């Protein structure tokens, strides 16, 4: 960056500013002014030469020479792989990308409340120290404020109880993302303890959908999805214990893939989350970014008790491969939810027609599918598992604080969940696990005849704020979940990969995704199909119309 007044780069200014008011070298009283100025001129010349070389190469696609500031239009038109290529070529610097991301964040976040915290100094220091050479070097990365701990950084989980909670070490996933060259610079909002499919809390406020501000961005990775949809960054980390990657991806017009159970490790602090229901990955605009992100994050870590099935090659190379002729089963809804919004059903049918036009065989199998599973047992098992995990996390925090739970520590429904979980027994928890294992075997049998299962990601377009939140009653939350997300939790129960692909849009301009479930361990088929769909029906041109400040 060049100072318009002095004509010097920022580094050159720092050299000149090494003289104090008397002309002595600061910290070097034995060095004369003449000697110091000579060194100063030499260093300024070196910095200026380096800067001029960078600026000579730093041209935007219009052919104009870069002023050192990357415009938002230029920044936002690239996905993460594209930005990393620009850095690798020397067209732009990592600092320019970070500055562009920060400028966009500060411009749009007041409208959407996607950001839980800023890490600008940490990000600049990481660049100053030198980033590793990796597939995503220089890419600014918003990080979900739960499941991705960063040493010395607050992780507040959308909860007053966890206010000012400081992580003691980097998670394995963050370590891998740093090694890939990513630059974490902001934390993204979550509902309290990551429980809801919306992102709103009394502690952190409401995260708004960048496309229609009075509707939800989804949850629990709503802050991450809103940040990517609002063009703050092309990728963001996310996690999914019942749909929390796919739900916000659908709400915000993004691609969101939930990987196979244990594909991405939860270490070093834990082995699994929510009894194995939850997984780690991200939300992205492009399919290839999602694949590259999974390549970076996946693979068992030292001491993991189990791992996902091995895959050959990289996920990134799968995106450009043809999927072949797939057998696809349509499942319009999952019990006990019977009603699906007509717009969501039409979006599903349009996606089915698109798949058929690509040569795939599509069959409607809703009744056959629903007969195979005990949905009431599975939903109860899910609730039990989540409530026990919530109680464990709360008790662990209270032990850390050395005090008892206070009335205003948690939101009303979260507090109800915490208290209710005390009644569960170890046997009931084990029964829940066995329900999931049985479902996984039943799913494997069904998918012996189908490569992919297709459902609506959501049963309605993104709901308005206040429809599903923790300030009502537990029954209202449960009813809201069944009405909104009847189809996403199945992939968490069975451990299989699933993705939401942003193929549709409601009449009111809200994005709507179609969900595809792959066989256990087979992300490759999903990436091939997603790459094919993205090529024939690209969605990246759909961007929200946010105010410029």
Q: Which ranges of 130-171 does DSSP label H, i.e. alpha helix?
A: none
What interhelical angle do 287-297 and 80-89 show, nearest 10? 80
Q: Kindly name the residue from 94, 220, 224, 239 that is annotated as catalytic.
A: 220
Phi/psi at 36 (nearest 5 deg)? -65, -40
CA distance 312 to 310: 7
Q: Which residues does residue 187 pair with via DSSP β-bridges, in sequence order?
A: 117, 143
Q: Is residue 346 a contact partner of residue 332, using CB atoms and an 8 Å limit?
A: no
Based on the residue annotation, tell me whether 38 is a catalytic residue of this protein: no
Q: Kindly name the residue from 93, 155, 224, 244 that is annotated as catalytic.
A: 244
CA distance 22 to 207: 53
Q: Kindly name the residue from 93, 94, 144, 332 that is annotated as catalytic.
A: 144
Based on the residue annotation, tell me whether 220 is a catalytic residue of this protein: yes
CA distance 254 to 466: 23
Based on the residue annotation, tell me whether 244 is a catalytic residue of this protein: yes
Q: Which ranges of 330-425 does DSSP label H, i.e. alpha helix?
A: 342-357, 366-371, 375-401, 412-420
Phi-psi domain of 479 (left: phi exceeds 0; alpha: psi -120 through 50; beta: other): alpha
Interacting residues of 363 by C-beta distance below 8 A, sequence separation 6+: 327, 328, 329, 330, 450
DSSP string, 256-316: EEEPPTTSS--TTT-S-SGGGT-EEEEEESSHHHHHHHHHHH-S--TT-S--PPP-SS-HH
Q: Which residues are catalytic?
A: 144, 220, 244
């Amino acid at each position: 960056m060049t100072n318009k007044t002095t004509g010097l780069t920022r580094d050159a200014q720092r050299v000149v500013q090494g003289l104090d008011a008397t002309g002595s070298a600061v910290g070097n009283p034995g060095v004369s002014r003449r000697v110091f100025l000579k060194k100063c001129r030499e260093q300024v010349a070196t910095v200026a030469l380096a800067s001029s070389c960078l600026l000579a190469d730093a041209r935007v696609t219009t052919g104009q020479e870069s002023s050192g500031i990357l415009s938002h239009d230029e920044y936002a038109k690239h996905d993460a792989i594209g930005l990393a290529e620009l850095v690798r070529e020397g067209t732009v610097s990592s600092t320019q990308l970070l500055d562009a991301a920060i400028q966009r964040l500060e411009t749009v976040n007041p409208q959407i409340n996607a950001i839980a915290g800023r890490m600008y100094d940490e990000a600049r220091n990481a660049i100053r120290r030198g980033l590793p050479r990796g597939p995503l070097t220089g890419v600014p990365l918003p990080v979900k404020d739960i499941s991705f701990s960063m040493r010395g950084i607050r992780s507040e989980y959308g909860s007053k109880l966890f206010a000012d909670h400081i992580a003691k070490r980097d998670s394995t996933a963050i370590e891998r993302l740093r090694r890939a060259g990513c630059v974490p610079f902001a934390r993204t909002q979550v509902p309290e303890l990551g429980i809801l499919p919306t992102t709103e809390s009394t502690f952190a406020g409401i995260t708004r959908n960048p496309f229609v501000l009075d509707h939800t961005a989804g949850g629990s990775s709503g802050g991450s999805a809103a940040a990517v949809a609002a063009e703050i960054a092309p990728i963001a980390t996310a996690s999914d214990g019942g749909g929390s990657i796919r739900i916000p991806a659908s709400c915000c017009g993004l691609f969101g893939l939930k990987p196979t159970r244990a594909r991405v490790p939860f270490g070093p602090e834990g082995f699994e989350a929510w009894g194995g229901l939850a997984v780690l990955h991200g939300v992205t605009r492009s399919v290839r970014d999602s694949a590259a992100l999974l390549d970076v994050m996946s693979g068992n870590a030292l001491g993991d008790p189990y791992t996902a099935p091995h895959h050959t090659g990289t996920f990134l190379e799968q995106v450009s491969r043809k999927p072949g002729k797939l057998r696809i089963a349509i499942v319009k809804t999952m019990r006990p939810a019977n009603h699906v919004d007509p717009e969501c059903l039409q979006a599903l049918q349009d996606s089915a027609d698109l798949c058929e036009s690509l040569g795939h065989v599509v069959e409607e199998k809703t009744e056959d599918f629903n007969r195979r599973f005990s949905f009431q047992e599975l939903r109860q098992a899910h609730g039990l598992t989540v409530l026990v995990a919530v109680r464990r996390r709360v008790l662990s925090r209270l032990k850390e604080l050395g005090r008892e739970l206070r009335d205003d520590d948690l939101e009303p429904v979260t507090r109800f969940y915490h208290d209710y979980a005390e009644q569960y027994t170890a046997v009931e928890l084990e029964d829940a696990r066995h329900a999931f294992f049985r479902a996984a075997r039943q799913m494997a049998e069904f998918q012996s005849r189908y490569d992919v299962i297709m459902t609506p990601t959501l049963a309605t377009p993104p709901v308005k704020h206040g429809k599903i939140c923790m300030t009502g009653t537990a029954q209202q939350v449960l009813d809201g979940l069944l009405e909104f997300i009847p189809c996403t939790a199945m992939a968490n129960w069975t451990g299989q990969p699933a993705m939401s692909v942003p193929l549709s849009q409601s009449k009111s301009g809200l994005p709507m995704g179609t969900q595809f479930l792959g066989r256990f361990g087979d992300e490759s088929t999903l990436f091939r199909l997603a790459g094919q769909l993205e090529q024939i029906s690209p969605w990246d041109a759909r961007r929200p119309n946010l105010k410029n400040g």
